[in-house]
Amino acid sequence: MGAIVRKEYDHFIGGNWRKSGSGKTIDVLNPATGELLTRVPAGDSRDVDAAVAAAREAFVTWGKISAVERQGILLEIANRIQKRARDYAELETMNVGKPIREAVNIDIPAAIDHYRYFAGVLRDIQGLTQSIDQNMLHLTLREPLGVVGHILPWNFPLLLAAWKLAPSLAAGNTVVMKPAEQTPLTLLELANDLREVLPPGVLNVVTGYGPEAGAPLASHPGIRKVSFTGETTTGRLILQYASENIVPATMELGGKSPHIIFPDANVERAIEGVLIGVFFNQGEVCTAGSRLFVHDAIHDSFVEKLVAKVKGIKVGDPMKEDTQLGAIVSREQMEKILSYVEIGKKEGATLLCGGTRPSDPALSKGFFVNPTIFGGVRNRMRIAREEIFGPVVSVIRWNDYDAMIAEANDTPYGLASGLWTENLPLAVNTAKALQAGTVWINNYNSLYAGAPFGGYKKSGFGRECAFETLQYYTQTKSIFVSTAEKPIGLY
Amino acid sequence: MDLRFSERALGLLAEIHGENRSDTLVILIGGGCCENTAPILMKNFRVGQSDRLLGEAEGIKVYAAAEMYPLVSATPSIIDVTDGRGAGSFSLEIPRGVRLTLRPLPG
């Protein structure tokens, strides 16, 4: 079967489709055409209550099954996605607007890989033992938390669901996930595809708007952890809910990542890295290398080559195999990006290319923005400080190393960073100086199941994608075992 | 700072406030990730000590987070409403199919 979109979706709760209590729906659009793809429920607290109840019930048995069994199930999830990989890729492209080559080669394989990775490492969820003295043995168990609530963003729907779902299940938790209202389709399809793989209630998906479905989930007294990827203020709100329930949280928030070009950089590779850094997924990536620091000594020639390369980027129908830059996820997001272009011009930055919608009439109904470069940017400008979340890069000229590092770090965020140099000591020392959760040396936007991902500063806390992630989905039980045969003699 | 509200924004805020009489509503200018810099209208959000007051309308105070304050306070701006939903935020107007925006005043 191809990527057939159902006419209408319901929530997926307790192993089945379930109608929303609200009766209201949300239109899900194809951002490349503006056309209606399908409708999903605009869920509310009643649906969240039902989903949390189903997850709590499922946890009673799921939390106790053996590691071997959980491992088999995670591997089977990977296999199920693999079997329909092309469908998932097409559905993701239709719903998000990302080029099909990215969905096929990155989103879906990386999602599959996360289930396989966590299937493997879950066998290493272990405690410690110690002999306290002759009569006392102590051991720790890593136990699951219970129901985890996940609030997902719209840029990598199936992949970021995997980042959260795989470790949650690996550790023995059950989940309620709220995908972004714009891009819920692949996760709903996955939940349905896993009917025979997961016991009912282990994975529940509630669709809806943030204030109506997200807030009741994040604040629900039945959840034992909340994880959120999204905007900083909403992150603060969710943390306030978590503080009421005294539950842990994982936060992956914004970024405004510096991407640094040293004078000895391999220019050809670096230019490709810049493109991967800011035009991958239309720049709708929290790690986007949106502040490009280019050294004065090579600035003019580097920027000239960059502009020439960017002008050749193929913007178009995301379903076409040769499209390099697809559609922006929604009209609103497109408008916001274009408003930043105006802000940049007003601030005195030089628009070197892009900044407009494509003139191709075939794309006029979709939400497209040409790849955009601003030159002459100062780090204090709004386009260098605020996350645009679109295909826009701000080029900042530098020549003093210390001043450049200070500027690179002069942002509330600290999600990612990148640098290009052939000088190994310089590369490593710069990596140490950058206040960011990830540093890419002579590459950009590389991610790997097994490499921790997360932010410094206001980009959040907690780490995903890695072995340590399992710590965030388990809690420690300390068990003291007395082997004494006689009373201690205190009473 | 010079923070204004469009007629439509005032109407929307009054309407939402009217439906949530028992709650404290507040707007925080947020940023980051998929939402860019946007007014987030929230119910019972506890404003922090470092948040800075920007203005008030319809009994709803508008704050900026400390890191956003220098940016937004430097530009005379207007809080307005446009059609189309936001980018997945928890802002209270989103289910109505509209979203609050913060944009610089012309000129």
Give the mean model confidence (pLDDT) for residues A70-94: 98
Sorting pLDDT into bands at 50, 70 and 90, what band is A490?
very high
> Residue B23 maps to which CATH number?
2.60.300.12
Q: Which residues from chain B sit within 8 angstroms of residue A282, using beta carbons?
A: none
Interface test with A, best of B16, B26, B34, B43 (most A CBs within 10 A): B34
Determine phi and psi for A119, rounding to 5 degrees.
-60, -40
Sign of CA dihedral B12, A30, A340, A159: positive
Residue B70 corresponds to which tokens in the numbers above? 């220098």
pLDDT in tens, B49-92: 999 999 999 999 999 988 888 888 888 889 999 887 666 689 99
Compute the nearest-CA separation of B43 from chain A (Å): 9
Compute the nearest-CA separation of B2 from chain A (Å): 17
pLDDT in tens, A343-396: 999 999 999 999 999 999 999 999 999 999 999 999 999 999 999 999 999 999
Architecture of the structural domain at A258-441: 3-Layer(aba) Sandwich (3.40)
Compute the nearest-CA separation of B35 from chain A (Å): 6
Residue of B nearest to A208 (CA): B95
Residue B61 corresponds to which tokens in the numbers above? 């105070």
Beta carbon pairs, A and B, within 8 Å: 134
Residues 6+ apart with CB under 8 A from A384: A256, A291, A377, A378, A394, A396
Task: Kindly determine whether residue B95 and residue A211, on different chains, have CB atoms separated by under 8 Å.
Answer: yes
Question: Could you give the CA distance from residue B17 to residue B23 in angstroms, rounded to a whole number?
Answer: 8
Is residue A353 flagged as an active site residue? no
Task: Please give the mean pLDDT across all residues of chain A.
Answer: 96
Determine phi and psi for A27, rounding to 5 degrees.
-75, 130
Closest in A42, A210, A212 to B89, CB measured? A210
Question: Could you give the CA distance from residue A417 to residue A404 in angstroms, rounded to a whole number?
Answer: 13
pLDDT in tens, A237-246: 999 999 999 9
Closest in B33, B75, B91 to A211, CB measured? B91
Question: Could you give the CA distance from residue A348 to residue A338 in angstroms, rounded to a whole number?
Answer: 16
* Distance set, CA A152 to CA A117, A252, A474 (Å): 21, 10, 20
Task: Kindly determine whether residue B88 and residue A339, on different chains, have CB atoms separated by under 8 Å.
Answer: no
Compute the nearest-CA separation of B39 from chain A (Å): 9
Question: Could you give the CA distance from residue A53 to residue A220 in angstroms, rounded to a whole number?
Answer: 11
Give the three-state DSSP class for A230. coil
State how beta strands A350-353 and A372-375 pair.
antiparallel
Enclosing domain of residue B57 = 3-104
In 3-state terms chain A splits into helix, strand, coil percentages (rounded to 5) of 40, 20, 40
Query: Virtual CA dihedral for A157, A160, A165, A166, nearest 10 degrees?
Result: 130
Percent of chain A whose pLDDT exceeds 90: 96
Residues 6+ apart with CB under 8 A from A168: A148, A150, A174, A175, A473
What ipTM did this prediction achieve?
0.93
pLDDT in tens, A124-170: 999 999 999 999 999 999 999 999 999 999 999 999 999 999 999 99
Question: Could you give the CA distance from residue A183 to residue A40 in angstroms, rounded to a whole number?
Answer: 10
Is residue A284 flagged as an active site residue? no
Tell me what pLDDT residue A121 has: 98
Residue A398: is its pLDDT beyond 50?
yes
Q: Which residues from chain B sit within 8 angstroms of residue A232, using beta carbons?
A: 30-33, 65
Sorting pLDDT into bands at 50, 70 and 90, what band is A3?
low
Domains identified in chain B, total number: 1
Tell me what pLDDT residue B33 has: 58
Question: Could you give the CA distance from residue A30 to residue A331 in angstroms, rounded to a whole number?
Answer: 11
Task: Kindly determine whether residue A230 and residue B94, on different chains, have CB atoms separated by under 8 Å.
Answer: no
pLDDT in tens, A65-78: 999 999 999 999 99
pLDDT in tens, A175-228: 999 999 999 999 999 999 999 999 999 999 999 999 999 999 999 999 999 999
Tell me the angle at which helices A185-193 and A157-170 cross, rounded to the nearest 10 degrees: 40
Sign of CA dihedral A131, A132, A137, A141: negative
Q: Which residues from chain B sit within 8 angstroms of residue A217, using beta carbons?
A: none
Architecture of the structural domain at A11-253+459-477: 3-Layer(aba) Sandwich (3.40)
CATH 3.40.309.10 region(s) of chain A? 258-441
Residue of A nearest to B73 (CA): A382
Question: Could you give the CA distance from residue A193 to residue A180 in angstroms, rounded to a whole number?
Answer: 20
Tell me what pLDDT residue B89 has: 81
* Distance set, CA A314 to CA A322, A358, B51, B68 (Å): 7, 11, 43, 35
* Distance set, CA B55 to CA A151, A201, A482, B10, B84 (Å): 30, 46, 63, 13, 25
**Rounded to two decimals, what is the model's pTM?**
0.96
Residue of A nearest to B67 (CA): A412
Question: Could you give the CA distance from residue A373 to residue A395 in angstroms, rounded to a whole number?
Answer: 7
Local structure of residue A370 (DSSP, 8 states): -
